[in-house]
Structure formats: C-alpha cells, structure tokens
C-alpha cells in the first residue's frame, strides 16, 4: 500500500469512527434527539449502525489479509462495499428528508410518514443484500471488484449524493436567509428568531454530517479513482468486458 492509498484509508476510517461515536452519543443524549422527528431519528440510528458495520468490516479485511485468506478477504471487501453503498443511499435519503421538511413545513409530517421512512430504509437494506449476493457470484478478485465498484457504484453514488446535497441545502439556506430578512426588530420578532434558531439546530447538525462525509469520503474516493486510472489505464469499456466475460464463464 503506497502513501496515497494509506492517506485515503486513514481519512475514510477517521470519518467512519467519528460518525459512529458521534451518533451513539446523540442517541443517548435525549435533549438533542428530541429535536428530531421520528423519520430523521430512524435515519440517524440506521446510519450509526451501518457506519459501525463499515468500521468492523475494515478490521475483518485486515485480519483476512494478515491470515492470508484471499477468498475471505474478497467476501469482506464485497460486504464492506455493499455497506458503503447502503451508507451513501441513507445519506441521500436523509438529505432529501431535510429538503421535504423545509419545503412543506407543517404539511411534512402528513406527506412523509414514519411508515414511508421505514419502507425506504428496508428497500436500501434489500438493495445492499442483492448487491452483495450478485457480487459474490460474479466477481472473483479484489482488483476486479474494485474496478467495477469504483466506476459503477461508488463514484456514481458519490456524484448523486453531492448533487442532492447541493440542491437541498442550497434551498434550505435560501429559506433561512429569507426568514432572517422577514424578521422585524420588535420583541416578538426576537422571540421568533430565537425559536427559529432552535428549530434550525437539527438542520445544522445534518449539514455538518453532509460536509464531513463529502470531505472525508467523497473526495478520497475521487482521488483514489483518478490515481488508479492513471497508474493502470483502466477504462469503462475494459471493465465492462471483463465483467461480461466473468458472468458468461460463471453461467
């Protein structure tokens, strides 16, 4: 492992551990959690659980590599990749949830119920399980899995996440700015402003989460993919050809 790869691993692990510890503390701090509605609390709880799994899978992969078990290392790599995809999808759902909360305000709880949130989370888990099963059946080396995941899973999902985050939080910050401009200098306005700041705390927490994920996960993913393409001259067509041959041989 060279210096650049080591830096990417350190940044990713730091982000994962930081988020996991932070969400566990938030879950135990009732005064903070009470600021979130049930849907947002569900997203944060599952996000904490998934990031904990991601940290554990990293340790298992190191253990498989040290004990020289390539098959186990491949399975752990595929499993951790599925968990990462699940993590990104829940972050996208959480970001979209914040947009809905601001866009529809009081109607939000009627439009987006806890049942719908549960269905979204269950669907993400199902996609992860299906992805893992298919990957184990059709991918036969870590390098092949890395080429496929980096070009057709990690980077596209990172791109969707960044676009959704920019649009959603751009809209939210625009609404916050409009709210500030509409406040008057009366005592009632100051009270309203204080109440508005209390309601804004959950949004700032999620915004900090989105920014940290972008800095410590999305950026390292892009850097790693660029260096990998430069060093190995990897192309999309080449990766698709290898995947097709592997699937044909397996079938």
Q: What is the residue extent of each domain of the chain?
A: 3-181+197-249
Q: Which residue has better confidence, 198 or 14? A: 14
| CB distance 175 to 196 below 8 Å | no
- Whether domain 3-181+197-249 has CATH 3.40.50.300: no
Confidence band for 245, pLDDT divided at 50, 70 and 90: very low
Inform me whether the pLDDT recorded for 30 exceeds 80: no
Dihedrals φ, ψ of 155, to 5°? -65, -45
User: Which residue from 41, 33, 55, 26 is spatially nearest to 217, judged by alpha carbons?
Assistant: 55
Question: DSSP states of 89-142 as a string?
Answer: HHHHHHHHHHHHHHHHGGGHHHHS-HHHHHHHHHHHHHHHHHHHHHHHHH--SH
Provide mean pLDDT across the span 20-26: 58
pTM for the predicted model, two decimal places? 0.69
């Amino acid at each position: 492992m060279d210096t650049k790869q080591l830096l990417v691993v350190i940044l990713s692990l730091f982000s994962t551990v930081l988020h996991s510890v932070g969400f566990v503390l938030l879950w135990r701090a009732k005064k903070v959690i009470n600021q979130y509605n049930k849907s947002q609390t569900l997203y944060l709880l599952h996000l904490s659980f998934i990031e904990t799994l991601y940290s554990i899978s990293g340790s298992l992969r190191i253990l498989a590599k040290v004990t020289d078990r390539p098959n186990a290392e491949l399975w752990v790599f595929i499993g951790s990749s599925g968990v990462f995809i699940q993590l990104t999808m829940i972050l996208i759902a959480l970001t979209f949830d914040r947009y809905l909360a601001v866009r529809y305000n009081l109607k939000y709880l009627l439009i987006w119920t806890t049942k719908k949130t549960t269905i979204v989370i269950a669907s993400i888990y199902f996609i992860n399980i299906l992805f893992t099963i298919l990957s184990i059946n059709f991918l036969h080396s870590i390098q092949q899995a890395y080429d496929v995941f980096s070009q057709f899973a990690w980077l596209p999902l990172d791109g969707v996440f960044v676009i959704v985050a920019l649009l959603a939080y751009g809209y939210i910050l625009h609404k916050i700015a409009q709210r500030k401009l509409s406040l008057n200098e009366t005592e009632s306005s100051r009270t309203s402003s204080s109440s508005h700041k209390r309601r804004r705390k959950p949004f700032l927490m999620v915004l900090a989460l989105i920014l940290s994920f972008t800095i410590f996960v999305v950026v390292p993913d892009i850097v790693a993919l660029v260096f990998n393409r430069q060093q190995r001259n990897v192309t999309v067509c080449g990766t698709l050809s290898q995947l097709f041959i592997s699937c044909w041989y397996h079938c």
